[in-house]
Structure 1
Amino acid sequence: MDATPVGISVIVATYNRAALLNECLDHLRRQHFEPGDELIVVDNGSTDDTFAVIRRHQCLSAVPLRHLEEATPGKSRALSRAIAVASGDLLAFTDDDVTVETDWLDAIRTAMADRDVALVGGPVEPRWECGAPAWLPSHQDGYGRLAAPLALLDYGPRAADLGVRTVLGANLAVRREVVARVGGFAPHLGKLRGTLLSGEDHDFCRRVQAAGFRAAYCPEARVRHWVPANRVRPRYVLGWFFWSGITNAALDEHDAPLTRSISGLPLYLIRRFTIGLIAAPAAALTSRTALALNYAADVAFTAGYAAKCWGLVKLQRAVPAQAARAAGGAA
């Protein structure tokens, strides 16, 4: 890696979340900034008071706060818009419904002082609107699979290389030169209006690691994610797993099959689907809600995977080279 980074560009994409964005920027304003740091907020077509919130914080910010607009819907496209103009050697990403801890930026800067580290991410804790659902494991037990729709993450109290794990886009920092090498966030993945599409952060982390770069978990870089009441309802959870199946099918399109399949569906998914159809109702009838949701998630995930494989859902094709150029570097 090149010399120790000089500046950090903190990037937030937003869409119609003026009140939450205001909280997000309030917490970012409390960071310990250094010369060369900047904030970039990309408005992805908001029609609420987002413009006024950004203007207010431009007057309050201790570092330049750049307001960009991206008319094409999609979180990945909004992030690419910011990456293309960011001046920092490090790019730190968080979301408009996230509040960062006071020492978040310092923790990122410290972790990235190790020149061998290309990417870091940290814990994402919940800010509940109505309290934790009964079906979610307690934090002490670690966030299980059912926390994925809530965008929560905690790999424990110790710093470590990620290995096969990935981190969330709500709390992720990467060297600009690495983005230029591997490309930015895939435009066919990530939040898109009318869907629960995701996976742009998972795909990005995977490409960084596949390129031979080191990715690390930094427990000191903590953020808190707003979890509204509607997201803890089973209907939302199962909808998220359906779209997760679509996301994973899109990711698998570019990889050689590692398992046997029937009509494009891996056999292990067919087994999980069959078991889930039987076991989910049985668990629900005995009031084992968490177990029932886990089985039902297998059914929803496989249904989404099949929908993508069989052409029932169309996504834009990935163009990694263009994403890399958007980041300001050569692919």
Structure 2
Amino acid sequence: MRSTDRLISICICTYKRPAGLRQALQSLTRMAIPSGCRVETLVVDNETAGSAAVVVDDLHRAHPALALRYMQEPTPGVSHARNRCLNSAAGDFIVFIDDDEFVNSEWLVELLRCMDSTRADAVFGPVVPFFEMPPTAWLVASGVNDRLRFPTGTELPWREARTGNVMLRHTMVEDGHRFSTDFARTGGEDSLFFAMAKQRGHQLVWCDEAVVHESVPVQRMTRSWVLQRAFMGGRTYVRLEARLGHRWPYLYFALRGLASALVSMATIAALYVRGDARHVRHLCRLYGHLGKVAARFYSHGPYAGDL
């Protein structure tokens, strides 16, 4: 190891997902490390019982090159765990993946290549679903697991910026920029983080070659889970707009959401009568609109890690 090597800190926040965490860490053992770089891997456990400790210990003994570090964040909520990562990471670059994801072999190389070529402050890559069992027709038609992809180098709007697969320069957080704890238990903290980063002039770009896969377990392939997620997403979106300074956000989005919900119901009925599985996609939109209507009255919710 040379003193001139650049350090990349790979961060994984985890909460009651030992099997997913093991898969994520094992995929890191097979990844290529960019030339002139070294890595450290931080696992922040947001469960007070520390269920992730044994997983990290096993992988650390078997793969010392990952330079695994384990720590617990006792304050519940994903924002606290992510901020612990930012406060602890020593790298020139900080990378986040989730504890239900696993990476491709060239993933890290592609992220850094794009970072260097675009001089961006943060680089995002695709998150592709990996279903634990073949998805049903309605689940595919719902589009709930589909995420937009862009040509490499595309500058991203904050609404498409997430922590599921991102590399950011350490300079982005040296001024104390952190994840808002107001969204610690509902999600949306990452969207707000990158929205505020854009307001500060930071550049966010896309790298379509830096792929990770997200495991979709059976319990996330039910209609009830999909619709609950859509509802929560709608209400969180309004709270984000409120934080970012939208004028009269709760009234505006409640009225807009109500009007859109009425339109959605007509479309759902027409598709359902024809037996068209795409009615579920519109049903998800309906629940998202209802979440916007209810946003003023549901500022808090279950910890996202419980879903």
Tell me, in whole angstroms, the C-alpha distance in 2 between the residues paired with 1:262 and 1:207.
Answer: 20
Check whether the contact 1:8–1:92 (CA below 8 A) recurs between aligned residues.
yes
- State the partner residue of 2:182: 188
Between the aligned partners of 2:112 and 2:235, the Cα distance in structure 1 is 35
Which one-letter code corresponds to 2:293 in the other structure?
A: A
Match of 1:108, SS?
A: helix
Please tell me whether residue 297 in structure 1 is matched to residue 284 in structure 2: yes
Aligned residues of 1:121 and 1:217 also touching (Cα < 8 A): yes
Q: How many residues align?
A: 296
- Is the 2:122–2:204 Cα contact (8 Å) retained in structure 1? yes
Match of 1:283 among 265, 268, 271: 271
Going from structure 1 to structure 2, the CA distance change for 1:262 and 1:53 (only over 3 Å counts) comes to closer
Could you say if the C-alpha distance between residues 115 and 179 of structure 1 is closer, same or farther in structure 2, counting changes exceeding 3 Å?
farther
Q: Work out whether residues 158 and 191 of structure 2, in 8 Å CA contact, stay in contact via their aligned partners in 1.
A: no
Please identify, of 36-45 and 113-122, the stretch whose mean Cα deviation from structure 2 is larger: 113-122
Given the superposition, is the C-alpha separation of residues 17 and 294 from structure 1 closer, same or farther in structure 2, using an over 3 Å criterion?
A: same
Contact 2:83 2:179 in 1 (8 A): yes
Q: Do 2:139 and 2:221's aligned partners in 1 also have CA atoms closer than 8 Å?
A: no
- Counterpart of 1:131 (choices 92, 110, 134) is 134
User: What is the Cα deviation at residue 264 of structure 1?
Assistant: 5.0
The whole-number CA distance in structure 2 between the counterparts of 1:41 and 1:108 is 20
Is the 2:133–2:218 Cα contact (8 Å) retained in structure 1? yes
How has the CA–CA distance of structure 1 residues 147 and 206 changed in structure 2, closer, same or farther, with 3 Å as cutoff? farther
- TM, length-normalised to structure 2: 0.86
Q: Are residues 1:32 and 2:32 paired?
A: yes
Identity of aligned residues (%): 26
Q: How does 1:88-103 map to 2 (within 5 A)?
A: 88-103=91-106
Counterparts of residues 153-302 of structure 1 (less than 5 Å):
153-156=147-150, 158-163=152-157, 166-181=160-175, 183-189=177-183, 192=185, 197-257=186-246, 263=251, 265-290=253-278, 292-302=279-289
Contact 2:239 2:299 (8 Å CA) reproduced: no
Is the CA contact 2:93–2:168 (under 8 Å) kept in the aligned structure 1? yes
Counterpart in the other structure of 1:327: none
* Cα distance in 1, alignment partners of residues 128 and 88 from structure 2: 30
Q: Distance in 2 between matches of 1:266 and 1:308?
A: 8
Query: Kindly tell me: are residues 256 and 25 of structure 1, through their superposed partners in 2, closer, same or farther at Cα, counting changes over 3 Å?
Result: closer
RMSD: 2.7
> Are 2:45 and 1:56 equivalent residues in the alignment?
no
Secondary structure of 1:161's counterpart equals coil
The 5-angstrom pairing of residues 36-115 of structure 1 reads 36-45=38-47, 47=49, 49-59=51-61, 60-114=63-117
Q: TM-score, normalization: structure 1?
A: 0.80
The residue type paired with residue 212 of structure 2 is V
**CA–CA distance in structure 2, aligned partners of residues 94 and 247 of structure 1:** 21
Counterpart-to-counterpart distance in 2, 1:20 and 1:46 = 18
Distance in 1 separating the partners of 2:119 and 2:32: 24
Letter in 1 for 2:263: I
1:193-247 Cα shifts (integer Å, max 9, x gaps): xxxx332222222222222221111111110000112222221111011101121
Paired with 2:58 and 2:280, the residues of 1 have a C-alpha distance of 43
